[in-house]
C-alpha cells in the first residue's frame, strides 16, 4: 500500500514576485518540513508541468529540482496538458509499486502570469489538436461546443451551468490558498461577459501561478511515524483522442469514464462511499460532465442535480465536491492542479480542512483532465 503523509501548496493566484522555481522550491521545502524529512531521505521526484518549455524555453526542470534539493535521485517530468500533475502522481504510484520502502516527492507547478495573454493562450492551445488550433478554436471554444451540445440535448440553459461556479466560489471563500475568495451570485454569473457562448468569464477557471507537493511512501514504518497519513487505494490514468471530431459522444469524456471505472474496481469501494471529491472544473460544464462520467450522477441529469447544490459545503449532502474551490475559484496553475486536488482530499481525510472540513470524511476522489479529454487521472484515497 502507498500512503500520502504530507501536503503543501503555495497560495494560488497572480504571484508576480515569484518565478516558477521560487514556487517549486517553496512547495518542496514546505512539504519536507511538514514530514520532518531531509531531502536526502527522498528516493525519487515526479514533476508535473505543462508550459515551462513553451513560455520560458525551459526544458531542464528536473535538473533544477536536483539543484534545489541538492540530491542525485531519478527526477521525472511528465507532461499531459492540464493533467500533468495527476499523471506525475500516477507515475509516482507506479514507481512505488515496484520499488519497496521508498519515499517520493510529487510536485506540480505552473507559472502563467509573466506573459502576455496571447503567449499564455497560445501555450494553452497546445493541448488542442493541430487541426483545432488551425481553425482558431481556443480552449474555451472547445468546451463551449461541448456545453452547447449538452444544454440542447438535455434541455438546460446557461443558468444550470452557473451553479457550478456559485458553489465553487463559495468554497473559495473558505480556503485561504484560493485564487478567488469572494462569493458570487446567479446574477453575477449570468451578467459576466461571454468568452465563447454559452460560457462566460464566471464559467471559466482563471490563469494562475502556484505549486503543490505531496510526499508519498510505501514505507509503512515511516508512514506510521507521521502525524497524518492516508492510503492510496487507486490511481488510474487513461488516454483518448483529443479532436472533438474523433469522439463518438462529445458530452462524455471517455477517458474519465474509463479511468473512473478502473479506479473504483481497483479500490474495491462504490461511488456511495465517497464523501469528498475534487473534480476537474476548468469550465462549469466540465464539472457536470465529470460528475456524470465518474458515475456519481446519471448522464444528462447533471444540469438538474447541480441546481440542487447538494454537493455544496454546509448543505448536508453525502458527497461534497471541490471544497478547495475547484479550478474555478482555487485557481488553475495547470501543472499544480492535479496535485492540489489530491492534497485537498488529503486535508479532508486527515481533518485539516479547517473552515471547509467535511465531517467524518473517510473516502475521497480526485479527478484531473488534460485538454478537452485527451487524458484523465482518477485517484481514490482513504483515511
CB of 16 to a second copy, least distance (A): 18
- Using CB under 8 A as the binding rule, whether residue 105 contacts a second copy is answered as no
Q: Which of 42, 65, 202, 286 forms a contact with a second copy (CB under 8 A)? A: 65
Among 4, 127, 288, 312, binds a second copy (CB under 8 A): 127
Find the binder of a second copy among 113, 192, 241, 357 (CB under 8 A). Answer: 241
The answer to the question of residue 64 lying near a second copy (CB under 8 A) is yes
Of 179, 280, 332, 367, which residue is the catalytic one?
332
* Helices 284-293, 158-173: crossing angle, 10 deg rounding: 90
Report if residue 25 touches a second copy, rule: CB under 8 A: no
Decide whether 79 or 209 has the Cβ nearer to a second copy: 79
CB of 266 to a second copy, least distance (A): 12
Give the chain's length.
383
Asked whether position 256 contacts a second copy by CB under 8 A, the answer is: no
Which residue in the set 97, 152, 298, 354 belongs to the binding site for a second copy (CB under 8 A)? 97
Q: Is 367 annotated as catalytic?
A: no
137 lies in the binding site for a second copy (CB under 8 A): no
Q: Respond yes or no: is residue 82 known to be catalytic.
A: yes
Binding site for a second copy (CB under 8 A): 45, 50-51, 53-54, 56-60, 62-67, 72-81, 87, 90-91, 94-95, 97-99, 122-123, 125-130, 133, 237-243, 246, 254-255, 258, 370-371, 374-375
Which residues are tagged catalytic? 82, 332
Amino acid at each position: 500500500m502507498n500512503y500520502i503523509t504530507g501536503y503543501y501548496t503555495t497560495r494560488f493566484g497572480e504571484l508576480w514576485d515569484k518565478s516558477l522555481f521560487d514556487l517549486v522550491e517553496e512547495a518542496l521545502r514546505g512539504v519536507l518540513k511538514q514530514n520532518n524529512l531531509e531531502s536526502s531521505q527522498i528516493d525519487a521526484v515526479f514533476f508535473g508541468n505543462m508550459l515551462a518549455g513553451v513560455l520560458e524555453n525551459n526544458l531542464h526542470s528536473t535538473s533544477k529540482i536536483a539543484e534545489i534539493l541538492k540530491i542525485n535521485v531519478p527526477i521525472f517530468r511528465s507532461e499531459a496538458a492540464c493533467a500533468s500533475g495527476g499523471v506525475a502522481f500516477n507515475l509516482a504510484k507506479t514507481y512505488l509499486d515496484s520499488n519497496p520502502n521508498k519515499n517520493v516527492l510529487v510536485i506540480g507547478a505552473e507559472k502563467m502570469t509573466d506573459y502576455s495573454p496571447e503567449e499564455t493562450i497560445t501555450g494553452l492551445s497546445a493541448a488542442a489538436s493541430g487541426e483545432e488550433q488551425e481553425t482558431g478554436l481556443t480552449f474555451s471554444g472547445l468546451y463551449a461546443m461541448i456545453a452547447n451540445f449538452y444544454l440542447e440535448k438535455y434541455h438546460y440553459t446557461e443558468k444550470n451551468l452557473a451553479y457550478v461556479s456559485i458553489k465553487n466560489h463559495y468554497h473559495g471563500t473558505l480556503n485561504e490558498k484560493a485564487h478567488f475568495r469572494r462569493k458570487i451570485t446567479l446574477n453575477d454569473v449570468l451578467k459576466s461577459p461571454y468568452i465563447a457562448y454559452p460560457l462566460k468569464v464566471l464559467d471559466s477557471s482563471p490563469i494562475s501561478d502556484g505549486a503543490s507537493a505531496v510526499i508519498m511512501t510505501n514505507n509503512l514504518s515511516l508512514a506510521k511515524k507521521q502525524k497524518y497519513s492516508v492510503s492510496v487505494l487507486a490511481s488510474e490514468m487513461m488516454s483518448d483522442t483529443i479532436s472533438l471530431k474523433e469522439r463518438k459522444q462529445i458530452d462524455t469524456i471517455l477517458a474519465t469514464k474509463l479511468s473512473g471505472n478502473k479506479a473504483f474496481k481497483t479500490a474495491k469501494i462504490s461511488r456511495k462511499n465517497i464523501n469528498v471529491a475534487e473534480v476537474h472544473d476548468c469550465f462549469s460544464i466540465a464539472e457536470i460532465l465529470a460528475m456524470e462520467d465518474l458515475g456519481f450522477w446519471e448522464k444528462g441529469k447533471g444540469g438538474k442535480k447541480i441546481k440542487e447544490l447538494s454537493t455544496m459545503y454546509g448543505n448536508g449532502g453525502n458527497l461534497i465536491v471541490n471544497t478547495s474551490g475547484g479550478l474555478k475559484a482555487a485557481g488553475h496553475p495547470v501543472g499544480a492542479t492535479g496535485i492540489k486536488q489530491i492534497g485537498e482530499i488529503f486535508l479532508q481525510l486527515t481533518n485539516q480542512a479547517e473552515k471547509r472540513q467535511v465531517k467524518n470524511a473517510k473516502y475521497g476522489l480526485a479527478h484531473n483532465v488534460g485538454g478537452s479529454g485527451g487524458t484523465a487521472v482518477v485517484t481514490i484515497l482513504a483515511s
